[in-house]
Amino acid sequence: MPQIKGIIVPIVTPMTDDEEINTDELKRQVERMISAGIHGIFVFGTNGEGYILSENEKKEILSVCIEQVNGRVPVYAGTGCISTAETIRMSRWAEEAGADVLSIITPFFAAASQKEMITHYRKVADSVSCPIVLYNIPARTGNALAPAAVKELSKIPNIVGVKDSSGNFDNILQYIEQTRERENFAVLSGNDSLILWTLLAGGRGGIAGCANVFPENMVAIYEHFIKNEFAQARKAQDAIRPFRNCFRFGNPNTIVKEAVAMLGYPVGKCRSPFNDLSDEAKAAIGKALNDFFHSEVKA
């Protein structure tokens, strides 16, 4: 059972100009992340554009990443679909392919009750032996996983954690409070601004889109924290605020991928139609990067 902790990067999916998967650059990005000390690689999450990839593309990406990682860190795979049957099928496939952890988003588009979501996750967990991290991102799915539901689901042995991307810190606190009885149950922040505060509250880390841009800095939040070096951890946490302020210009993962490209890595644009950024947005991203890498702000 891999330990669910630290900074896990929802790695971007590099693409060519014609929107095909760039596997050579994907391998380089995996190496870049591992060299920075990242604690896990998460494929086809939100920042990996999992919402717009075909099943065959997901299989290719997972295969490439597992081979490139070669056991050095856990590989997480996002396998959540709208239906329970499809989620089970994708979860079994990812497990057989060699994923170490499954990240399963709540059902989306249609409204689901808490009872329906508990039943959904229970059936999926019963169908695989792979550890599962629940994924709550109600702004994208329309369905919020309540703390009481997470408490109930934490009783299932292979449901080992939850990622919260609601942006509501009280929700993270309630997840932690409701799962204390389950030893080693991991609550992870999906909001990069809340990673340090989640750790201080008893969480285990974060799945951090900004790690694609600042991997060493994001890792530093966790590494300083576990060494009780709070001032350094807070410096690393605070350092990403100017970049995150750029998220007001558009889709956050579009901005993250643009920033990675600006750093000189040929990861391409996000797949259409989610790739338009104004000149003002690009200028703001460029300034945030320049300020970060040419000042004392970074950890």
Is-catalytic flag, 135? yes
Which residue from 262, 264, 269 is spatially nearest to 285, judged by alpha carbons?
262
79: Cβ contacts below 8 Å, ≥ 6 apart = 87, 90, 91, 93, 94, 102, 103, 104
163 is catalytic: yes
* Angle at the Cα of 78 from the Cα atoms of 51 and 80, rounded to 5 degrees: 75
Catalytic residue of the set 5, 58, 151, 163: 163
Element (H, E) at 192: none
Catalytic residue among 58, 76, 121, 135: 135
d(CA 259, CA 188): 24
Nearest of 259, 257, 212 to residue 19 by alpha carbon: 257
Taking the CA of residue 177 as centre, how many other CA atoms within 13 Å lie in the half-sphere pointing to its CB?
A: 9
159-164 and 6-10: which strand pairing? unpaired
Helix and strand counts by DSSP (H, E) for the chain: 13, 8
Say how many C-beta atoms besides its own lie within 10 A of residue 74's C-beta. Answer: 21
Catalytic residues: 135, 163
